[in-house]
Amino acid sequence: MVKAVVEQIVKHSPNCIIIVVTNPLDAMAQAALKVSGFPKNRVLGMAGVLDSARMSSFVAMECKVSVENVHSFVLGGHGDDMVPCRGTRPWREFPSPIFCPRNALRPSSSARAKAAPKS
């Protein structure tokens, strides 16, 4: 599927920059790079936005606040090597630890199941 899509992208927009946002991100971005023949600075992978949104959902559920008031940021690849940036998560003007104890920021398996995308 990625191959067919990338071939069409290259055919119709040969000077574009491709931004890959599907999982598994690393494999899909690598496939898009190979199929497109583009230089590596024109094929980008972007997964952090989705994972940051999931983290915001976990924090909001655990701390019983609106997700609109929680802004999260994660670094690293999707999976076990991902790092949540606790200190960069402003909650309006205040850091989240003021409102939510540290152990509440470790989502339970039920919270993860609720926030996971439905297939």
Catalytic residue IDs: 78
* DSSP letter string, 36-85: H---GGGEEE--HHHHHHHHHHHHHHHHTS-GGG----EESSSSTT-EE-
Angle between helix 25-36 and 2-12 (nearest 10): 40
